[in-house]
Amino acid sequence: MNIMLSQILALVGKLDDTPGDETPRERFRHYLRENVNEIGQIRDYIGECLRASGDQYNCALQDLVNHLGQFLGFEVTFGRYRGVQGQLGFDGHWKSPAAFHIVVEVKTTETYAIKTSTLLNYVNDLISEKRIPSWETALGLYVIGRPDPDLRQLENAIVAEKQTHQLRIISVESLLSLAEMMSEYDIRHEDILAVLRPSRPTIDPVVNLMVRLVSPPVEPVVVPPVEPTEGEAAYWLTPVRSDEEQTAEDCIQTLVARERIYAFGERTPGRKHVRPGDRMCFYACGKGVVAHAKVLTEPVKQPHSKVLHPEDYPWVFKVGEAQVYLDAPIAIDAALRSQLDAFRDRDLNKAWAWFVQATRSISEHDFKILTRG
């Protein structure tokens, strides 16, 4: 039985920094240690935090990110939810077996200005207390729940203040991807540590590259689970990722809702199989299915001016009957996955990002569930 995060939080009580072994904070962290031992569970709970609002979910997100750090091979010290004078206020302190230290600050959004001095001071305080040897073996890491490409204040501040050697940024989606790759593939803790120490302040492009490299082979995802007969429609699920220039929602709003088109790259699985009459649903990575439409034309290599990076996505096709519900995403949580043909006989708590890493053919049954029928 899969328990929703909202139920757990209602049982443990209000999360705060009250000390003691039987406080809501310690009950929640104990639950994570004892019961949340699969990446798929963490992804579900983090997704629930990002779809909800309020201090309770912000605190839970911080603990979940720290719990995720343990899956990446770090020894994790959980921090305070709120800073107070006279006490260290870091969100998390991750120590690597390689004697490298990462001090984590978790931010649900980038809506409010973030002062880099706060995280820098946390690291300096830990160095003063000799819990970290020096900046030579330390890094400050911002983990962002809902990145906004239009609000690059934090990245700009890190670059302008010449702190790129001390501070890094990663989205929680990319952090989950790292943990999934470490769980499912031959990727070691040392590899993860190397990724977290690039020359640029933003880590997501590197992680996205790794995700593409370890994605399942093309053939299994382009063969429909139920072959449509002549004249029958096929059904597709295609993921849309946010990047440094636009969010997944903005991309879907522009292309699907406004321009009534969509575009594939040369290597997009399924490109050669999409036909007029097919149905396609669009998954905003980290959010859920937020739109679906009918395919009106076959993909044609004709770059479109409204497609960001048309050189990478030159195969354009028209769509119609588009329904877009950005404010009411359909989350692919454990309860929904239990209803899908694609997850039949699978452990619902295991890593499940494989389902949304690349365009794939799905059954009509799954399409109806993913689009609320």
Q: According to the model, what pLDDT value does residue 152 have?
A: 82
pLDDT digits (tens, 9 = 90+) for 282-293: 999 889 999 999
Number of residues that this document lists for the chain: 373
Domain boundary at 187, 214, 241, which? 214
Determine the pLDDT at residue 22: 92
Query: Would you state the structure tokens that stand for residue 233, as one six-digit string?
Result: 């429609």
Helix (H) or strand (E) holding 139: strand 138-146
Considering the domain architecture, whether residues 81 and 151 belong to the same structural domain is answered as yes
The strand pair at 75-78 and 92-95 is best described as: antiparallel
Tell me: do 168 and 238 sit in the same domain: no
Same domain, 170 and 198: yes
Q: Residues 132, 253: one domain?
A: no
Both 134 and 229 in a single domain? no
- Would the pLDDT of 85 be above 90? no
Total number of domains in the chain: 2
Same domain? For 120 and 193 the reply is yes
152 and 15 part of one domain: yes
How far apart CA 80 and CA 89 sit, in angstroms, is: 6
User: Looking at residue 267, which CATH number applies to its domain?
Assistant: 3.10.590.10
Give the domain range for residue 336: 218-370
- Give the pair of three-digit tokens for residue 143: 């983990």
Provide the pairing of β-strand 92-95 with 279-284: unpaired
Residue that terminates a domain, selected from 190, 214, 238: 214
Of the three residues 178, 195, 214, the one that is the final residue of a domain is: 214
Residue 113: per-residue pLDDT: 83
CA distance 7 to 18: 21
pLDDT (tens digit per residue) in 260-319: 999 999 989 999 999 999 999 999 988 999 999 999 999 999 999 999 889 999 999 999
Identify the sign of the CA torsion 109, 372, 356, 322. negative
Residues 209 and 317 in one domain: no
Does residue 183 register a pLDDT over 90?
Answer: no
- Is there a single domain that holds both residue 223 and residue 355? yes
Distance CA 156, CA 176 (A): 24
Can you tell me the distance from the alpha carbon of 43 to that of 48, in angstroms, rounded to the nearest whole number? 9
130 and 53, same domain (yes or no): yes
For residues 139 and 35, membership in a common domain is answered with yes
Indicate if 254 and 232 belong to the same structural domain. Answer: yes
The CATH number of whichever domain residue 165 belongs to comes to 3.40.91
Least confident of 185-189, 292-296, 338-342: 185-189
What is the structure's pLDDT at 373?
84
What's residue 218's pLDDT?
41
**CB neighbours of 286 closer than 8 A, spacing ≥ 6?**
47, 50, 146, 171, 172, 173, 242, 248
